[in-house]
Structure 1
Amino acid sequence: MTLLYFDPFSGASGDMVLGALIDAGVPLDVIRASLDALPLEGWTIESTTVQKGVLRATQVIVAVGEVNVSRNYADIVTMLETSPLEENVRRRSLETFEILALAEAKIHNRRAEQVHFHEVGGADAVIDIVGSCAALQHLRPSHTVTGPIATGSGTVSSDHGQLPLPAPAVTEILNGAVLYGRGEGELITPTGAAILAAASDVFGNMPAARLRSAGYGAG
């Protein structure tokens, strides 16, 4: 049995999760190979080592050619279903976007197929999600656990106006997870929350296990 444990002690965003998985040993070329299957143009992805307080971490740097492009849920589904992604990466990616769409649909009182993604529909967010799913498929853990999640507090500006933190989409996605505030600002994003929710078999404390690798992702 191979256990993957996420410890979001400083929250989680899409690029943080991706950085942590790379830091734990997933080759960047594995992620690039999956992203090459997407109909996105002018993107690049690199990783670099940074210092975050007392910790060394991996930061993922994504650059995209498109500007101010947003997509609705149907656009994302079509993109993923018609792309030559490896089947398990496609399945994980579709599940992650479905979690996001259902959360947004409930919050805004509309059907999932009517959900229009703003930040989450941009190429960089698509790359974060599909890249993380490709990394998870490379690791192939038999069981995944996510520990208590730091959420931050306060408010954040969005296309829907000022929102409380954690954002309503985050609280919907992470229903049943263990959350705590830990300071001001947005620590957990909807994208990060959806990746963790889709990947996790359970939210809780780390069971006893022999450590093989660890990774830190910087936002």
Structure 2
Amino acid sequence: MALALCACDPQPSAVQPTHAAVAITPRSTPTPTPTPKPAPALAVEKVGASASSGGFMAFAVIANPSDETALDVRVDISALSSTGQQLARRTGSIRRIGPGKREAVALSFPVGRTLPAQFSGSVAGVRWSADEAADVAQVAGASFVQDARTPEVRVHVVNTGQGADRVLVTAVCWDAAGNIRGGGTRTVTVGPEAQGHDVTIQVALSAVPASCDAFGVSS
């Protein structure tokens, strides 16, 4: 019997690839970090002074750019020498500065041994409140009245309340460059008149002003 021999390559077996399971981690959306609300703060906008009968009358205008009401604001004004040395310091108060509003304080300085070359101001203390209720008496306008003997500022005050209101009115006068050239202050009683009421404030000036503003706070 004859045997038939065949040198044949073995047929490769088909091998199926094995797919390993891959765990897919879901992509998380980062939570935005809220921006912290800035703390409310007051800004000393301008400080200036003029000579008065007893020495100097200094003024500081304080701005409240925050959305809260500033209460019981204490303001320091210092008289400085030409070298920056503090000659004297006085502290005044502003009862209330509403959100986005400006108010002013006036302080007198007696004449010392050295005349001050400049004045500086700072906020010494404040209490904050979310209450936005405005004073019932508001300053509606101010204008300078030229008089060689007794220069004055005429201030129009409107009282929207039901009864009379005592208002501390401070007039501040400016030159064309925006520097304080003087002013004055007076406490007046304003009745509830729809058309408002005009009051005059005598002012001490170091030069003829380009304009005057008035600020009023119920006292």
Greater percentage in helix: 1
More strand by percentage? 2
Bigger RCO (CA 8 Å, 6+ sep): 1
Give the TM-score taking structure 2 as reference length. Answer: 0.25
Bigger radius of gyration, 1 or 2? 2
